[in-house]
Structure 1
């Protein structure tokens, strides 16, 4: 259980895995700084969490597609005199389609959100944690980090960065009292696929989607245990294990099939 003075910061906290992680943190007594792009979602989340768990919840609207936003978020938190004990970098998006046809500006925004903003927040808060000699960070990677993803090439590439980056800095700070953990979910029932224009993909249409609450619990347990990483879900563990023994070309072909739009059934 957290003390009354401990705070966690969660990006993407108003929906999906981020919201479920915020609930778990609040349940354990952590005060929260929650970050999202829209005020309405933040207001609802503040109401839900304060009423259910009696913790302090500070909302802040930040668009982490903006290169300045992560720096502004850190300045906002430090100006409040708040020490962040746990950082959860959950916010992330993807774009569906063949790379030669997708919108490059949208992809550059995704790289900014999934990589650049995550790196900025991790660096700034990690330096403070190391100086204090304690703290925890959870970065949302994905099983996408372990395999090429045709029709989601940029998204898979960003998640490969997140996982590799997380493992590297974990090693660097291993004697500091700070732990850094990578969470690798598979396809999960969140708004991700709507935002990515991916609702027609076989993996979505076939309904093989994980429960965000279960994914969050796996990640939360790993975070609190100080583990380096966790793959959430038995089927995802098996998929990652198999991909480790298969040629990348074969893994990419398998992922291409999963991401291909599902053909309508004949009546």
Structure 2
């Protein structure tokens, strides 16, 4: 008798941090994996995940463009398997004042966090809708609730993703497809190093464990919840952001994200 195939999870930004931890949780739940990231470490991640006994295919791909996202979607679809879980986690940050940033680097943040993400969801989401089954987990951020002085582009992209996830969930409310938005706060990954923010207060501050953040998001997705903020401090910050005037939020963000604010 042929064995029942495992469900398939597609996870982007899975070479490290929250994405890798989400992949580990998917593997622990006996999902086969297709994982992607824009760096060569994705192969190391795949090797570690294969040790759990599930099938893992890895792709090093630039998801900051429509063509890169389409190529990855085509690769996934070429496997001829339904995607049970899509985790749109790939993301990029950038510190310093907007006018001091390299414009190409700033646009890369927009294209990675928004263009690639919605392109992938559009492609795989249509397949989910056609068979009326599937779960989508989007990594947003509590940064999306706060005008991000010295992270203006990044916070703006996360505001988009938070909003997009709520809207998509509503559009799919009469289907069997769930959409969940995971909203972490500062997390102990290489994000701040890559964003050139190690000289900032937030870059040096204590951060959440990515394994804990991933678990919160994965469990919320399995329950079909619409959104989840990881960590009680982040939940409190989100509540306060909803009642605090935007100019004050921008000044508060400046104190923790401006270059040179790291405590000596």
TM over 0.5: yes
Instruction: State the Cα distance separating 1:82 from its structure 2 match.
Output: 2.2
Match of residue 216 from structure 2: 218
Work out which of the residue numbers 224, 231, 234 in structure 1 matches 2:232: 234
Q: SS where residue 35 of structure 1 aligns?
A: strand
Q: Shift of residue 263 of structure 1?
A: 5.3
Q: Distance in 1 between matches of 2:241 and 2:263?
A: 29
Alignment of 1:1-267 (within 5 A): 4-39=5-40, 41-51=41-51, 53-205=52-204, 207-260=205-258, 261-262=260-261, 265=264
| Unmatched tracts of structure 1, length 5 or more | none
Q: Answer yes or no: is the 8 Å Cα contact 2:255–2:261 preserved in 1.
A: no
Q: Aligned partners of 1:7 and 1:264: how far apart in 2?
A: 45
- What displacement does 1:92 show? 0.4
- In 2, are the aligned partners of 1:35 and 1:62 still within 8 Å (CA)? yes
Q: CA deviation at 1:50?
A: 1.2
* Aligned mates of 1:65, 1:169 — CA distance in 2: 21
How many matched pairs? 260
Q: TM-score, normalised by structure 2?
A: 0.96
Segment drifting more, 220-229 vs 77-86 = 77-86
**Deviations 1:112-137 (CA, angstroms, capped at 9, x unpaired):** 10000100111111111111111000
2:201·2:263 contact (CA, 8 Å) conserved in 1? Answer: no
Offset from partner CA, 1:10-65 (integer Å, 9 cap, x none): 001110000000000000000000001233x12211221111x2000011121112
Separation in 2, partners of 1:195, 1:85: 31
Q: How far apart, in 1, do the equivalents of 2:85 and 2:252 lie? A: 36
> CA contact under 8 A between 1:4 and 1:30: conserved in structure 2?
no
**CA distance in 1 between partners of 2:262 and 2:160 (Å):** 33
What is the rounded CA distance, in whole Å, between the counterparts of 1:7 and 1:73 in structure 2? 15
Query: Is the 8 Å Cα contact of residues 4 and 29 (structure 1) preserved in structure 2?
Result: no
Q: Which whole-Å CA distance do the structure 2 matches of 1:101 and 1:218 have between them?
A: 36
> For the aligned residues, what is the CA RMSD?
1.2
Moved over 4 A (4+): none
User: Does the 8 A contact of 2:6 with 2:30 survive in 1?
Assistant: no
In the alignment, the residues of structure 1 paired with residue 162 and residue 43 of structure 2 have an alpha-carbon distance, to the nearest angstrom, of 31
Unpaired runs of at least 5, structure 2: none
Deviations 1:122-158 (A, max 9, x none): 1111111111111000001000111110000000000
Name the CA shift for 1:235/1:264 in 2 (closer, same or farther; >3 Å). closer
Contact kept in structure 2, 1:93 and 1:155, CA below 8 Å: yes
